[in-house]
Amino acid sequence: MATNTLAISSETENPLRGVVRLVPGILLLAVIGYAAKWIEQSINGYTKAHHIVFSNIEYVLWAIVIGLVIGNLVRVPEIFRAGIDTYEFWLKAGIVLLGSRFLVGDILKLGGISLLLVFVEIGGALLLMTALGKAFRLRPKLINLLAIGSAVCGVSAIIAAKGAIDADDEDASFSIAAILALGAISLLTFPLIGHAIHLSDHAYGVWAGLAVDNTAEATAAGALFSDSAGKIAVLTKTCRNALIGFVVLGYAIYWARRGQAGVVGNKAAFLWQKFPKFVLGFLVISLAVSLQTFNADQVKSLANLSRWAFLLTFAGVGLRTNFRELSKQGLKPFAVGVLGEVLIAVLTLGLVAGADRIWVL
């Protein structure tokens, strides 16, 4: 204990050391991201020069694939770990900067029907996962974590809920493993399904934003379909993320009343604490662009920075997805997660396809 306290104190007194620790991992993310972009451009250049008809494979997929290969075939040295873990920061930075590609009018174009589907997905996922968890006789708080993770925003929601409902570390690790594994599967399956049934860019983007749990995987799944679908997926997923505080607050109050979690004092302060601040950043940048605060070149630069931030994110997603580690988690939570996520994907696809046919999303 004394050693750990000394180490923490040392890093607190020398923040530069903490920053230096991040450099190797961030450089690895950048190298993978650059390699992914180079592979995409090289293949496109070769096929065009030789008049070969070949579907473009986005840098998104290459970054994830390279990360997966390295992360699962090679034991990444500890020196890279801290920097690799910054991929969530780059995700949030990328979403904030992505606001430069949305005018306020574009956000409003998401439409009332799409927003209604967000609420339907959250309510339906909570009920479905809870019913499945009870049917498989999982522990109550494990059921709650799986439900919250699948309904709102994956790992971030699970982490936020863990402390709020005083759940065990084991329950949280089971839930996170299930969500991560299913997120990796969605990257392979969603674009194929979307193209197979000829979904429009908007409809597919809404579906990916509704059905894929982690923001990183939802962003990637959308971008793998098309650039336009990627933007809609981020926007839809951001709407889900914005509701995390309300969902977690409800569960915190429930467990507090049963004497199995800390009492929630100031509800407004609780909501602000759990609210994902990058959502506000996204809206601020979008409003600034709408008010023409930036000129055209500056907007283009912000959009390019967003793409590079996502490159680091997707490289990190690949590196952090270790199938050997995921396979060590419990079978029952994973079975509940798989069954629940498949049902949520099918149900939301039906809702989106039906809404698109009736109202044209």
For the chain, domain boundaries:
87-359
Burial class (CB in 10 A: 0-12, 13-18, 19+), 353: middle
CA dihedral angle for residue 125, residue 131, residue 132, residue 133, rounded to 10 degrees: 100
Q: Which pLDDT belongs to residue 8?
A: 42
CA pair distance 117, 90, nearest whole angstrom: 28
Q: Which pLDDT belongs to residue 12?
A: 47
Q: Which pLDDT belongs to residue 225?
A: 93
Q: How many CB atoms lie within 10 A of CB 320?
A: 20
Q: How many CB atoms lie within 10 A of CB 86?
A: 17
Q: How many CB atoms lie within 10 A of CB 66?
A: 20
CA pair distance 146, 148, nearest whole angstrom: 6
Place of tokens 């909570």: 126
CA pair distance 245, 264, nearest whole angstrom: 12
Q: Which pLDDT belongs to residue 327?
A: 67
Q: Which pLDDT belongs to residue 173?
A: 79
Cβ atoms of 201 and 187 closer than 8 Å:
no
Cβ atoms of 205 and 236 closer than 8 Å:
yes
CA pair distance 194, 198, nearest whole angstrom: 6
Tens place of pLDDT per residue across the chain (361 aa) = 444 444 444 444 577 888 899 999 999 999 999 999 899 889 888 888 887 766 556 677 788 889 989 988 988 999 999 999 999 899 899 989 988 887 777 677 677 888 899 999 999 999 999 999 999 999 999 999 999 999 998 888 998 898 899 998 878 878 887 887 788 888 889 999 999 999 999 999 999 999 999 898 899 999 999 989 999 999 999 999 999 999 999 999 999 988 888 878 788 999 888 888 888 999 899 899 999 999 999 999 998 899 889 889 989 988 987 777 766 666 788 889 889 999 999 999 999 999 988 877 6
